[in-house]
Structure 1
């Protein structure tokens, strides 16, 4: 069965598609039938290249339909590098508002375009099932389902991540000591900031949950003389990290396991770092999560939670593109909710700070890496996946810039029974 069943067309495609937008188009839209709409001198030119792309736009009006068509190559940004569509996306986010046509309007558009029957094309293979459909397949944030969600995003290809993330292989917000610092300098500075907040000293034991490729583990054992255990649900990450530990000769003091944080049975850690994991565990699971991390600590031990947050604590939808293409089952809330949950399990919060501008800089640096190594990234992961990453990194950079999302580090301590906390009178770290 074909996606589009044709009847006689009475309208051009590009002008008809203006119905999908709430205001005048801020870009020039052209279509494969030769039609055009929007300002001829617009700074961004968008070309609808195929009938499949038209079907995506009409059957999923809004950002999901546009993302599907763009990922598949059916919607093309003329003159824009797909690895870094930042400028185009900035225009869209500031001036583009979608509207969902009424059923009657949709019928008129379909008829005007000569589409007697319109069926939604299959989504791109990079798209995960929507959240509401995945619920029936397993309890959200069960170990099995969390593992599947993590694998969707993190097991793309270690080589792909090497190209995008750079030598540090660190996929979390960097902390720039100066605006002109390199990405590698900023990632090292971030790890050092975490280590200093945790008060790491030789002989201590560190647990790093959601350890990624083991960057924090290696930094802590190399520069602070601790013994460290990292855990990650991504098999690809664990394999890479284990090799890096062996290559550095750190097997006696560093370990990375392919495991769920819930599987860590050891206790007596002096410090716990959670860098970029809270986004994946589910807000309802915060009490159990922070309680489990608290139980891994000795009295006086510190926990540093580093995670993407909202600028408020109200329930907010993740958005179809992020949920389906980037972080399936991911959930964000404000720093207030995170602090409350940490306090309610008996942890004493001692410090918090917002690093959102640093994450905007980090995403821009990753996007430059993607664009610079575009051909190799496409060869490694496929063009559709690379396009997803271009959209994702540009969108996230803008989100941090406009304060739609933030990045908070929250430092807490497990008090001694007498209430003492083993922390300095004044912090000895700086941004």
Structure 2
């Protein structure tokens, strides 16, 4: 097994690899040691080369990352990138020898996918008879990811129970972030359970930013689509705004409703477990959409923004907050994300979002990229998951806990390296004469 690794990866090897057959490859003093513990793990890697096969082996425990906590395996992603860069095609002679060895190790065989994996989108459509982004299929997809258990999510989302990018105050160190932004060191960030306090403050600050950008005032009405556990709804209600949030997740609905009652906000706040397309009310003063567009599908953006445009009064504002690509090409999210995290998910760039918002009638007033904040948010989520690892495994099992650790650490790496971004876009609905009533200068504090 070790000889195979050495034949397909050019030196220097970024890992030290040991295998179930007793072989090894790579420098002993490598920062990360990988252990392939079984033929099953090898079969996953060989039959689904790339991210999907590695994820299957990792989630089932057949691929161990020694020295990395499974709740926050961030360091491995830099090394994986180096690994991909160093893979080369072996000679014909070496290829024959590799194939013989893999056959001997029983790598060429069907290995059932982990139970945490869903079918690819086209097979779901055939077997379930549900078209992509139909109301029924969207509900099933959302339930699969978000109805894992509120107790589990509380372990890493912390007190805020917000599963979207937070907005860290300037004194949290985001004025000096890596690369072109300066000499910043993530070692200074909070670790373990200590991540909860800055995360909670940053999520509250995110809700404050959205509230202020929307220019909401006491007595006005807010529609929050894809409201999650209701954090934005409760923030608005605490500031005198009548807020309605909608989610497709039954567990989010139940948790959010209970929290509204606990805080005594029933007169102003409501969460419904319905599709946003089924909201009957109109003439809202504002719409917030925090982390829902990733689930909509790019081909549905026009209908989505047109529908929400129709929910606003003239002069009403919409704030869309979502993950984007650094370019405006529409891309699906990849096999790992589609099979394990967000089935049917699609991403594109902020330029395309702005164009479609404008085509729907919005006067786009402002947009900004909060990418470093999402990197920090994911770091804090991972640190909390690692700090509460034993309880997480007890609640959902080790494969699911490993899955979330892998997903969030990988996402942290992708935000750090500008593979994905997080954009907020603010639009206003003009009246028939084209007036928006918006001030001529920015009215909110960063």
Q: TM-score range by the shorter chain?
A: over 0.9
Are 1:50 and 2:38 an aligned pair? yes
> Alpha carbons of 1:22 and 1:326: their partners in 2 closer, same or farther (altered >3 Å)?
farther
Between the aligned partners of 2:166 and 2:316, the Cα distance in structure 1 is 24
Cα distance between partner residues in 1 of 2:65 and 2:105: 25
Q: Which residue of 2 aligns with 1:190?
A: 206
Q: Is the 8 A contact 1:143 1:260 kept in 2?
A: yes
- Partners of 2:221 and 2:242 within 8 A in 1: yes
Check if 1:361 corresponds to 2:405: no
Could you tell me how far apart the structure 2 residues matched to 1:297 and 1:87 are?
45
In the alignment, which residue of structure 1 is the partner of 2:117?
Answer: 127
Question: Cα offset for 1:117?
Answer: 7.6
Counterparts of 2:147 and 2:8 in 1: how far apart (Å)?
A: 35
Aligned residue in 2 for 1:4: none
Asked if 1 retains the 8 angstrom alpha-carbon contact of 2:237 and 2:269, the reply is yes
Task: Tell which deviates more after alignment, 134-143 or 274-283.
Answer: 134-143
- What is the CA deviation profile of residues 227-254 of structure 1, one whole-angstrom value per residue up to 9, with x for unaligned ones? 0100001111001001001111111111
Confirm or deny that 1:218 pairs with 2:208: no
- Distance in 1 between residues matched to 2:8 and 2:351, nearest whole Å: 37
| Structural RMSD (CA) | 1.9
Query: Is 2:42–2:107's contact at 8 Å kept on the other side of the alignment?
Result: no
- Picking from 344, 349, 366, the partner of 1:351 is 366
Question: Superposed, which structure 2 residues align to 1:302-313 within 5 Å?
Answer: 302-313=317-328
1:167 equivalent in structure 2:
159
Q: Does 1:341 align with 2:356?
A: yes
Q: Give 1:306 shift.
A: 0.2
Residue 314 of structure 1 pairs with residue 329 of structure 2: yes
| Structure 1 residues 134-149: aligned runs within 5 Å | 134-136=124-126, 137=128, 138-149=130-141
- Offset of residue 96 of structure 1: 3.3
Aligned position for 1:112: 101
Cα drift, residue 118 of structure 1: 2.4
Q: How many angstroms apart in 1 are the aligned matches of 2:144 and 2:434?
A: 43
**TM-score, length of structure 1 as denominator length:** 0.93
How many residues get paired?
A: 418
| Match of residue 152, structure 1, among 136, 144, 152 | 144
Q: SS state of the match for residue 61, structure 1?
A: coil
Rounded to whole Å, the distance in 2 between the matches of 1:28 and 1:420 is 64
Aligned pairs (5 A) from 1:25-424: 25-97=13-85, 108-113=97-102, 114-115=104-105, 118-136=108-126, 137=128, 138-180=130-172, 182-223=198-239, 225-424=240-439
Question: Quick check: 2:147–2:249 contact (8 Å CA) kept in 1?
Answer: yes
Shift of 1:108: 4.3
Alignment check: 8 A CA contact 1:279 1:307 kept: yes
- In the TM superposition, what whole-angstrom CA distance separates every residue of 1:149-182 from its partner, at most 9, and x where no partner exists? 1111111110011111001100000001125281
CA distance in structure 2 between the aligned counterparts of 1:395 and 1:171, rounded to whole angstroms: 16
Q: Could you tell me how far apart the structure 2 residues matched to 1:109 and 1:393 are?
A: 34
Describe the SS at the equivalent of 2:169. coil
Shift, 1:319, TM fit: 1.6
**Structure 2 match to 1:15:** 3
The verdict on how the C-alpha distance between 1:405 and 1:94 changes in structure 2, with shifts beyond 3 A counting, is farther
Q: CA deviation at 1:18?
A: 4.3
Work out whether residues 299 and 414 of structure 1, in 8 Å CA contact, stay in contact via their aligned partners in 2: yes
1:93-130 per-residue CA deviation (whole Å, 9 max, x = no partner) reads: 3453486979x877642422414682121111111111
Query: CA 1:40–1:186 in structure 2 vs 1: closer, same or farther (change >3 Å)?
Result: same
1-side partners of 2:250 and 2:198: how far apart? Answer: 29
Distance (Å, rounded) in 1 between the aligned partners of 2:444 and 2:259: 28
Structure 1 residue ranges without an equivalent (≥5): 1-12
8 Å CA contact retained: 2:125, 2:132: yes
Indicate the SS of the match to 1:118. coil
- 1:252–1:29 Cα change, 3 Å: same
1:301 is paired with a residue whose SS is strand
> 1:62, 1:98 within 8 Å by CA — same for their partners in 2?
no
Runs (5+) with no aligned partner, structure 2:
173-196
Does the CA-based 8 Å contact 2:226-2:289 persist in structure 1? yes
Q: 2:139, 2:248 within 8 Å by CA — same for their partners in 1?
A: yes
TM value normalised by structure 2: 0.90
